[in-house]
Amino acid sequence: MPSLKQPTPSMKVPAKKTVAKKTPKKTVKEEKEVEMKLFTCKACSKKFPDMGSYFYGKKSEKCLWCAKFPGRAKK
Cα distances (Å, whole numbers) of residue 25 to 18, 22, 30, 35, 75: 21, 9, 15, 30, 57
Identify the pLDDT of residue 47.
Answer: 94
Identify the pLDDT of residue 32.
Answer: 74
Identify the pLDDT of residue 11.
Answer: 63
pTM: 0.48
List the domain boundaries for the chain: 38-70
User: Cα–Cα distance between 14 and 10 in angstroms, integer?
Assistant: 12
Identify the pLDDT of residue 49.
Answer: 92
User: For 30-73, what is each residue's pLDDT tens digit?
Assistant: 777 777 899 999 999 999 999 888 888 899 999 989 989 888 65
User: Cα–Cα distance between 57 and 70 in angstroms, integer?
Assistant: 23
